[in-house]
Structure 1
Amino acid sequence: MKTMLRYLSPFIILILLFGYQLIGQVALFNPAEFEKNEGVMLVWDYNPSRDSITANIAKAAQQAGKVWIIYYPGPAPSDTTEIKNYLLSRGVLLMNLFFIPSYTETLWIRDFGPMTLYGNFGQGNERYIIDMGYGNYNRPKDDSIPRQIARLWEWQYRDLGLEIEGGNLMFDGLKRGFASTRVYEQNPSYTPAMIRNILIEKFNQDDFTFLESLNNSGGGIWKHVDMFMKVIDYETIMVSSYPDYLPDYPVIESNVTILESLTNAFNKPYNIIRIPAPPKADSTWATTQDDEMRTYTNSLIINNTVIVPSYGIPEYDQQAKEIYTNAMPGYKIIMVDAQQLTPLGGAIHCITKEIPAPHLVRIVHRKVTGRQEFTPEFYLYSNCESSSNLQQMWLYYKINQAETYTRVPIYIACPQNIGIIEGLMPGDTVHYYIEAISQQANTTYPLSAPAGYFTFWFDQAVGLDDLHQVDNDLQIIPQPNDGNFYIHSDYTNELKKFLIYNSSGKLVFKGNTQNQQQIKTNLPNGFYIFEMESNKGSLRTKMMIAK
């Protein structure tokens, strides 16, 4: 780090030292599901065929956050003691388990439950509830849940002003929301442009994308986006795939084309991952609206855990788990049987509702993965948004087979924070994650860290297969240097030809020299191979220039 700071201008150093003061309060922020949450809300259904699903979700989720179970406070088949006993019998612990007395009619809390955002109402940033319209289904108790929760927790409450269910709203956390065109059918007195503008304003988005409803893939009247897509991070969207002979195949592929044409908050195309939708128990797929719709995108992300529906079809279930595992490294992927839910029109996501963390702190970072152009010093850029003062950011990294992470500070600057990995070599593989600590909370990106991380690597130098076969008989002095250096070898007492290659194997400098004679170059910072003729034959060594 010292070598890097030595070459920064005084202005930049001032920004690095005092840039944290530039972090402002967030006036309105709509978190994505994959960002940090306090916990998840469920409804106790009082139905033996579905109580086990609720228990299995609670068991998986309570390791990652709180679990609130809404129970019926009036005359009901079970009180909280009986519910607790049932949950305990299914392996659920009392840890992180809470009960909320509220009136409901169904278990589909994703659709009617509280939509929680962060806002500033004069007392600093706090969570508040937006109530989406759910008045067309003769379920007044379900429709009242956001108001009940707002009163119970003494949160601010706002009305959306549109009829739309939570399962038909999805966000990338930074700039864009998604819904299906069913919202047009639900709000006939509004034009599509008016609906778009309301959603952009209420949820503080830059844009809103409406995807064509799947009218012939089952699931009933709902036709929600969460039945065929899942946003898993700021840059990545998972989308169902279907056999090409199904009636909605052209529709889903057209939606994928639309998604591929969009840019994320980093002005890059979204990464689209396809996940095959499983068939029904009779090995066929739905071809009408009223049929059963099975899907793996109807999952729940709760901090470092992903709860994915399963259907008792090993080849499809295992494939889905592998796709999630590869797409979300380090996350705990837990499958929960949803066969009792999909005939009713939903799955895991439909009966859960995440509640964001009490204090906002999130890391906005365009992840670096895959093959990268070699540089001995790799810069990683990020921003951090927090509802309280940001105290520290850390970069953790491992190179190749290292067992433990190296921790280095991230310099908090404007417009972006800077973390640096030094001393890299061609052929290296790097695993890294980022941590942010504010006065009130902390977080990592990815949330699965340290088990999960981002990985990038460098190729070996092109055309120099024996790159690492260097000679101890040839030394560069000093090392590293500023492009001006001496050589020392017992085998170069007379004038000899030398060649300098960059990390890609390209010849970038050549000349003639002899022992103890200074070589002057104007090469930029980087890693190089110095090759020289000698009485012993060709000698080769590594060299680093760091001005």
Structure 2
Amino acid sequence: MINNFINKGVLILFMSLTIVEVGAQELGKVWSNDVGVEERAIIESKGLAPVLARGIETPPPFTNLRAAAEWEEIEALTIAWEGFPCILKQIVSASISECRVIIFTENPNSTSNYLTGSSCGEGLNLDNVDIIEQDLNTIWIRDYGANTVYGSWNDDRILVDWMYNRPRPDDDVVPDALGEHLDIDVYTTTAEPYDLMNTGGNFMSDGFGTAFESELVHNENNGGSNWWTTFPNHTPTEIEGIFEAFMGIDTFITMPTLPYDGIHHIDMHMKLLNESTLMVSEYPEGVADGPQINANLDYVLSNYTTKWGTPFNIVRIPSPPELGFGYPNTGGWYETYSNAVFVNNKILLPTYYEQYDTTAIRIWEETMPGYEIVGIDCDDSGNEIISLSGAIHCITHSVAVADPLLISHLPLSDTENTTDAYVIDAYLSHRSGISEAKLYYTTSPTEPWTEVTMVESTDMNGEDFTAEIPAMPEGTDVFYYVSGEANSGKTGSRPMPAPLGWWKFHVGEITPDGIFELDPIVAGKFAEVYPNPASAITCVPVIMSESREVIVVLRDALGRTVEVIHEGLLPSGETKLFFNAASLPSGAYLLNIEVNNVNVAGKKVMVL
């Protein structure tokens, strides 16, 4: 349907100056994710009147806030019709069977005609599409859209929006239009002392209080300024406090920005797939952002865990070079397969060319069985949206459902156990309470599933359930999923596409990873330090032949101690240590391992 809802009044209410209209419709072109030279020139020539206030500018009045994760059930997918209509039509086509699609556009009739016409595929049925007339600047709705938060854990749905880090006032008020359209309150971090600048492409939540960002969030809230604005002035601790007050985030993981990603959004190189799994881009050794990504990843793994206290499971996915132009360090586009979006039982994936697409699709399908992986070409002639530093995740956002049936489970790992039953623990929560929980398992997903009623755990809180899968012989693959029903009658499963989707573990011999062949004479040595040259978080792998008390120290070219990285016991095998080169002067540095005041190993590091 077409809803001629015009949100210009919101802007008029809070602006006393002329509004800058710098959208694709004005000049017949699409602006990059970042603000380029031409867009900046137009803004400066016309003058910028930023949005001074909007939404509810105080923390939500709830005591159990929870920011939804992207893999949770969504009511609507949102897009901004501002360029690349063929890509947007493919997104709509893939999504309308899974949820409502809400389209913001400056020309509803033109948008409707394109969707129902024969351009870029067959005409679409628009019964599950809302088209809203709205002034726009750009297509990048991920960055300026609002995020679903529940005030009461799985009830009292609200939207939370931040100060947008771009001078695009029409984009900046789209969350208000969305909130009015869906009758959802919008809370905004736009007024002191809660003023916070942030962008959706640089935010990922696990749905249980943990969030990931790059240090862009620190850089744009440190009281500094750029050509168009002065940033809010907060310490990292204050930033974390605002995220907790508005979104319930209590574990805030930040990583250094990457040298070749000009927008510094983590969705360009990683994606949180569930509460325990991170998909991370991978480059050939030493290429582009590969070394810094690896150092950041090791930093996260060494300092943070999942909500269960276990290490994150890591899935690496190769980033392709731009065809004919190479990787970003040689001028190629920042092509990535992490910039995908969940749409309930589907995952919309950016694709580029067959050589790398086939591998990426295979990795996604193996990692997320049961989900339909829908590839959308982001490097096709005339549709090279990746050239503007963004892909599918960047041009979509979502609104989670009002009554989520939350199911969470830490998948079982492979095991050598062939005698004891395998215990399945799951968390199920709904605003009406849980009436029943079921476990289903099989040794082949093409065979019948065995149903087991899960029972409440010993704490009897009505949300923690357990069941057992009987012991299996060696060589068995076990597939399983969890389903639940709320007292309201709502049902759900995890993984969401079950029984097409499932978790799997293998019963049999486990081959350990990470075995090092050590020279027993050498007390300790360095593996390759990365990234080297260094400019931010830097990983220093130390390999010990046996457990020893050691000092690992960083010295400058004159031999002066710059930082004692570690002092104390190191276990045998490899330990990853870290130092931050961001504040160090450029030049050569030396890492040393000292045992009993004797230098036993050294490694040169260059700081940019």
Q: Is the aligned partner of 1:151 residue 2:151?
A: no
Residues in 2 aligned to 1:237 and 1:90: alpha-carbon distance in whole angstroms: 36
* Worse-matched range after superposition: 337-346 or 184-193: 184-193
Deviations 1:235-255 (A, max 9, x none): 000111122333533211111
Question: Letter of the aligned partner of 2:112 in structure 1?
Answer: T
- SS of the equivalent of 1:162 reads coil
Q: Is the 8 A contact 2:452 2:467 kept in 1?
A: yes
- Distance in 1 of aligned mates of 2:133 and 2:458: 47
Asked if the contact 1:388–1:440 (Cα under 8 Å) also holds between the matched residues in 2, the reply is: no
Structure 1 position 242 matched with structure 2 position 247: no
User: 1:228–1:295: 8 Å Cα contact kept in structure 2?
Assistant: yes
Are 2:303 and 1:272 aligned? no
Per-residue displacement from partner, 1:453-489 (whole Å, max 9, x unpaired)? Answer: 11123239xxxxxxxxxxxxxxxxxxxxxxxxxxxxx
Aligned partner of 2:72 in structure 1 is 35
Q: Distance in 2 between matches of 1:227 and 1:411?
A: 41
Aligned match of 1:3: none
* Secondary structure in 2 matching 1:78: helix
5 Å-filtered alignment, 1:406-425, equals 406-415=450-459, 416-422=464-470, 424-425=472-473
Contact 1:26–1:125 under 8 Å retained in 2: no
2:129 maps to which residue?
97
- The reply to whether residue 303 of structure 1 matches residue 352 of structure 2 is no
Q: CA deviation at 1:304?
A: 1.6
One-letter code of the match for 2:258?
Answer: L
**Greater displacement, 373-382 / 332-341:** 373-382
**Do structure 1's residue 55 and structure 2's residue 89 form an aligned pair?**
yes
What is the root-mean-square deviation of aligned Cα atoms in Å? Answer: 2.5
* Counterparts in 2 of 1:401 and 1:113: CA distance versus 1, 3 Å: closer
- Measured at CA, do residues 252 and 422 of structure 1 come closer, stay the same or move farther in structure 2, by a change above 3 Å? closer
State the secondary structure of the residue aligned to 1:205: coil
Hey, what does 1:138 align to over in structure 2? 167
Looking at structure 2, the residues matched to 207 and 33 of structure 1 have their Cα atoms a distance apart, in angstroms, of: 17
Gaps of 5+ in 1: 1-24, 461-547
Q: Deviations over 1:422-476 (max 9, x none)?
A: 474454432110001111532211112111111123239xxxxxxxxxxxxxxxx
Distance in 2 of aligned mates of 1:26 and 1:405: 40
What is the distance in 1 between the residues matched to 2:317 and 2:377?
A: 18
TM norm structure 1: 0.72
- Structure 2 residue 362 is the aligned partner of structure 1 residue 328: no
- Identical-pair percentage: 29
1:454 aligns with 2:503: yes
Structure 2 equivalent of residue 386 of structure 1: 430
Deviant stretches of 4+, over 4 Å? 86-89, 423-427
* 8 Å CA contact 1:66, 1:98 repeated in 2: yes
Deviation at 1:283, TM superposition (A): 4.0
Q: Which secondary structure does the structure 2 equivalent of 1:106 belong to?
A: coil
Assess if the C-alpha contact under 8 Å between 1:71 and 1:80 holds in 2.
no
> Given the alignment, which residue of 419, 430, 434 partners 2:478?
430
Distance 1:38 1:26, change over 3 A: farther
Alignment partner, residue 488 of structure 1: none
CA distance in 1, matches of 2:396, 2:133: 17
Offset, 1:42: 1.1
The verdict on how the C-alpha distance between 1:169 and 1:53 changes in structure 2, with shifts beyond 3 A counting, is same
Measured against aligned partners, the alpha-carbon deviations of 1:209-236 in whole angstroms (never above 9, x if no partner) come to 111111324xx3x210100100001100
Contact 2:66 2:152 in 1 (8 A): no
Match of 1:281 in 2: 323
Is structure 2 residue 413 aligned with structure 1 residue 373?
no
Instruction: Please give the residue correspondences for 1:174-193 in structure 2 after superposition, counting only pairs within 5 Å.
Output: 174-188=208-222, 189-193=233-237
Q: After the TM superposition, which residues 490-501 of structure 1 pair with which residues of structure 2 at under 5 Å, given as runs?
A: none
Distance (Å, rounded) in 1 between the aligned partners of 2:250 and 2:417? 32
The 1-side partners of 2:152 and 2:476 are apart by 46
Contact 1:181 1:211 in 2 (8 A): yes
String of CA shifts for 1:95-115, please: whole Å, max 9, x gaps. 533323322211111000121
Distance in 1, Cα, partners of 2:245 & 2:70: 19
Shift of 1:145: 0.8
Per-residue Cα deviation, 1:472-520 (whole angstroms, up to 9, x for no partner): xxxxxxxxxxxxxxxxxxxxxxxxxxxxxxxxxxxxxxxxxxxxxxxxx
Deviation at 1:362, TM superposition (A): 1.0
Q: Is the 8 A contact 2:445 2:479 kept in 1?
A: no
1:518 matched to which residue of 2? none
Question: Alignment partner of 2:505: what SS?
Answer: strand
Q: What CA distance in whole angstroms lies between the structure 1 residues aligned with 2:116 and 2:432? A: 37
**Partner Cα separation in structure 1 for residue 96 and residue 109 of structure 2:** 25
Letter aligned with residue 307 of structure 1: L
- Is the 1:232–1:238 contact (alpha carbons within 8 Å) kept by the matching residues of 2? yes
* Residues in 2 aligned to 1:458 and 1:430: alpha-carbon distance in whole angstroms: 8
2:51 maps to which residue? none
d(CA) in 2 for partners of 1:96, 1:349: 21
Secondary structure in 2 matching 1:443: strand
Q: 2: CA distance between counterparts of 1:414 and 1:130?
A: 36
SS of corresponding position for 1:137: coil
Unmatched segments (≥5 aa) in structure 2: 1-61, 190-194, 223-232, 510-608
* Structure-2 residue corresponding to 1:12: none
Could you report, residue by residue, the CA deviation over 1:396-422 in whole angstroms, capped at 9, with x for unpaired residues?
A: 111357611122211133443112234
Structure 1 residues 409 and 216, CA gap change in structure 2 (3 angstroms): same
Q: TM-score, normalised by structure 2?
A: 0.66
Secondary structure of the corresponding residue to residue 60 of structure 1: helix
With over 3 angstroms needed to count, the CA separation of the structure-2 counterparts of 1:247 and 1:400, relative to structure 1, is closer
1:502 equivalent in structure 2: none
